């Protein structure tokens, strides 16, 4: 089965989704980029591809010598589909 690779990255303070290394976006938030990448990966799987999605987030800032708790940042959750939350002007 052919494989497609999607990646979500923060590049120059903007979230992008890349497909096989070709970037798309920008997206206004990490959640919007993950939603777009997830939707695309599901569509690729429906077409018979083996889809891989990698989410590359920057390291959490250190607070008092401890990494910030990701749950407090609100980055975990379900990925609803169908929305296009790309930043204005794209």
Contact in structure between 53 and 42 (CB atoms under 8 Å) = no
| Global pTM exceeds 0.85 | no
Cβ proximity of 17 and 6 under 8 Å: yes
Scanning the structure block, which residue is given the tokens 């990925």? 79
pLDDT digit string, tens, across residues 9-64: 999 999 999 999 999 999 999 999 999 999 999 999 999 999 999 999 888 776 66
First-last CA distance in the chain: 33
Q: Alpha-carbon distance 47 to 53, whole Å? A: 16
Closest residue by Cα to residue 22 from 5, 34, 39 = 5
Helix and strand tally (H, E) in the chain?
2, 6
């Amino acid at each position: 089965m052919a494989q497609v690779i999607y990646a979500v990255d923060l590049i120059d303070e903007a979230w992008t989704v890349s497909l096989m290394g070709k970037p798309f976006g920008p997206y206004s938030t990490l959640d919007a980029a993950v939603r777009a990448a997830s939707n695309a990966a599901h569509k690729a799987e429906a077409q018979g591809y083996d889809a891989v999605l990698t989410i590359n987030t920057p390291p959490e800032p250190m607070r008092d010598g401890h990494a910030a708790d990701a749950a407090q940042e609100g980055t975990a959750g379900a990925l609803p589909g169908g929305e296009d939350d790309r930043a204005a002007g794209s």
